[in-house]
C-alpha cells in the first residue's frame, strides 16, 4: 500500500460465506464458554485449561495454516474475525492465539519442510502451545538491542541470556527465542544484523521458565521470565537464515499487529454494548439517560470509530491475503483500533458513573485490558514513527521523480 498515492485496488475486502461461518462459530463459543467465566478469569488471574483445549478443538489456533500441516486452511481475515470475537468477551483469552501466532506464522513462512512437520503441525492442530521470546529486561521496542547470545558449536548452538514478558510462557510447549549470533553491537547502523531465531522445547536442560509477572490487565494471560543457561539447541532448530532474525521478527510483528487491532475492536465493541445497555436501563431525572443528547452523541461517535477501525483492520488482513504490501495498513490498524478501544472504554466508564469503576461491572476491566494492546507488537508511538518515515520516504521519491 502506498500512503501518499493510494490505489482503489487497496480497498478491496472480499467477504465470503466461510467468513460468516467462522465468525458465528467464534461468537457462539465466546458467548457460551467464555462469557460465564470471563469475570472469574480476570479476578482469579487464570484461564481454565479446558478453554484452551476447546479453542484448539475448534481450530482457532490453526486458522491460517494449510490443512497439510494440520491447520484449518483459511485466510488471515478469518483469523482477525476469530480474535475480534474472543476479545469481545475476554481479551485475556484472545491473547493465547495471538501469542501462538508469533511462533506458528514464522514457522510457516521461514521454516524448512522438516521444521513444519515437526513443529508447525502440532501448533496448528493445537496439540502444542507456542510462545515468542524477544523482549529482554533492557530491550523492548529496541529489538536490535537484545543481549541473549547463541554460540555455534559442532553439534549445535549454546544459548545464554534472559527473556522477559514472554506471553503464553506458562503454558507453552514450544518457544521461538531470538538471540545474537554475531557481535555486531557497537556499529549503530548494523545493530539489527546478527540476530537469529531458534525453536526451543520446554524441558531442555538449562532452560528455565520463571514465575508469571503480575499485570493490571489481560489477567489470566500469563507473561513470564525465561532464563537460558547453556541451553544446547541442535542446528536443525535454527529457524530461517542465520543472522536474518531481525527481518523475520519484523514480518512476524506485521502479522501480529492485525490480530492486536482485532483485539482493540473486540474490546471497543464490548465497551459500546455495555455502555448502551447500562445507559438504557439507568433512570435519571425520570427517564433513561440514553434519552439525553450527550450519551447519544458519545455512543454515536464511538460506534463510528469502531466501524472505521474494523474496516481498517479487515483491509489490512485482506491486503495480506491478496499478497499485497500490508505493513503500513497493519500499523495504522493496530494504532487506531487499540486507541479506539481505550476511548470507548473511557466513554463506557463515564456514562456508567460509579458503576463504571466498580469491579462487579466489566467496564473497568475493558480499560485495564486495552492498555497492553497499545504496547505489544510495537508501541503505538513506534507505529506513528514507522508511518511517518514511510510518508517521508514517499514524499522524497515524489519530489525526486518530479524533477
Domains of the chain: 8-129 (1.10.540.10), 131-243 (2.40.110.10), 247-402 (1.20.140.10)
- DSSP state for residue 34 in the 8-state scheme: I
Strands 130-133, 174-180: pairing is parallel
> For the chain, what is the largest distance between any 2 Cα atoms, rounded to a whole number of angstroms?
80
- DSSP state for residue 214 in the 8-state scheme: P
**To which H or E segment does residue 27 belong?**
helix 17-29
pLDDT of residue 366: 98
pLDDT of residue 5: 84
64 contacts 50 by C-beta, under 8 angstroms: no
User: CA-to-CA distance for 248 and 192, rounded, in angstroms?
Assistant: 11
Catalytic, out of 225, 259, 339, 377: 377
115 contacts 199 by C-beta, under 8 angstroms: yes
Q: Is the dihedral of CA 38, 44, 49, 52 positive or negative?
A: positive
Coil, helix or strand for 151? Answer: strand
Query: Residue 360 catalytic?
Result: no
**Of 4, 83, 8, 79, which is closest to residue 324 (Cα–Cα)?**
8
Q: Retrieve residue 213's grid coordinates.
A: 509477572
Q: How much is the mean pLDDT over the chain? A: 95
pLDDT in tens, 40-81: 999 999 999 999 999 999 999 999 999 999 999 999 999 999
pLDDT in tens, 163-217: 999 999 999 999 999 999 987 555 555 777 889 999 999 999 999 999 999 999 9
3-state secondary structure 256-268: HHHHHHHHHHHHH
290 contacts 280 by C-beta, under 8 angstroms: yes
pLDDT in tens, 381-396: 999 999 999 999 999 9
Q: Please identify every stretch of the chain with a pLDDT value under 70, giving residue numbers as ranges.
A: 184-189
- DSSP state for residue 240 in the 8-state scheme: S
Amino acid at each position: 500500500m502506498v500512503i501518499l498515492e493510494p490505489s482503489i485496488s487497496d480497498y478491496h475486502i472480499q467477504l465470503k460465506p466461510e467468513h460468516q461461518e467462522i465468525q458465528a462459530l467464534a461468537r457462539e463459543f465466546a458467548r457460551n464458554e467464555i462469557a460465564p467465566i470471563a469475570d472469574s478469569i480476570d479476578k482469579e488471574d487464570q484461564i481454565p485449561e479446558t478453554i484452551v483445549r476447546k479453542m484448539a478443538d475448534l481450530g482457532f489456533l490453526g486458522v491460517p495454516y494449510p490443512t497439510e500441516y494440520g491447520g484449518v486452511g483459511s485466510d488471515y481475515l478469518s483469523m482477525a474475525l476469530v480474535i475480534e470475537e474472543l476479545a469481545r468477551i475476554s481479551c485475556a483469552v484472545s491473547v493465547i492465539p495471538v501469542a501462538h501466532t508469533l511462533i506458528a506464522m514464522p514457522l510457516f513462512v521461514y521454516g524448512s519442510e522438516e521444521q513444519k512437520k515437526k513443529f508447525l503441525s502440532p501448533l496448528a492442530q493445537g496439540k502444542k502451545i507456542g510462545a515468542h521470546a524477544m523482549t529482554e529486561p533492557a530491550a523492548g521496542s529496541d529489538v536490535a538491542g537484545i543481549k541473549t547470545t547463541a554460540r555455534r558449536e559442532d553439534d549445535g548452538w549454546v544459548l545464554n541470556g534472559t527473556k522477559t514478558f514472554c506471553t503464553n510462557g506458562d503454558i507453552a510447549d514450544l518457544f521461538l527465542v531470538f538471540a545474537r549470533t554475531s557481535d555486531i553491537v557497537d556499529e549503530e547502523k548494523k545493530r539489527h544484523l546478527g540476530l537469529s531465531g531458534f525453536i526451543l522445547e520446554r524441558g531442555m536442560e538449562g532452560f528455565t521458565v520463571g514465575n508469571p509477572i503480575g499485570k493490571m490487565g489481560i489477567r489470566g494471560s500469563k507473561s513470564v521470565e525465561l532464563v537460558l543457561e547453556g541451553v544446547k539447541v541442535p542446528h536443525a532448530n535454527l529457524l530461517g537464515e542465520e543472522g536474518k532474525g531481525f527481518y523475520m521478527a519484523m514480518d512476524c510483528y506485521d502479522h501480529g499487529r492485525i490480530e492486536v487491532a482485532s483485539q482493540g475492536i473486540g474490546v471497543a465493541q464490548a465497551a459500546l454494548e455495555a455502555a448502551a445497555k447500562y445507559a438504557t436501563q439507568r433512570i435519571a431525572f425520570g427517564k433513561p439517560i440514553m434519552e439525553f443528547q450527550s450519551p447519544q452523541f458519545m455512543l454515536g461517535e464511538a460506534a463510528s470509530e469502531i466501524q472505521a477501525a474494523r474496516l481498517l483492520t479487515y483491509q489490512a488482513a485482506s491486503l495480506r491475503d491478496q499478497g499485497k504490501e500490508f505493513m503500513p495498513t497493519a500499523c495504522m490498524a493496530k494504532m487506531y483500533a487499540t486507541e479506539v478501544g481505550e476511548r470507548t472504554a473511557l466513554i463506557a466508564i463515564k456514562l456508567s458513573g460509579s458503576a463504571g469503576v466498580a469491579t462487579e461491572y466489566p467496564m473497568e476491566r475493558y480499560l485495564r485490558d486495552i492498555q497492553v494492546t497499545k504496547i505489544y507488537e510495537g508501541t503505538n508511538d513506534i507505529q506513528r514513527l514507522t508511518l511517518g518515515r514511510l510518508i517521508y520516504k514517499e514524499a522524497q521519491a515524489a519530489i525526486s521523480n518530479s524533477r
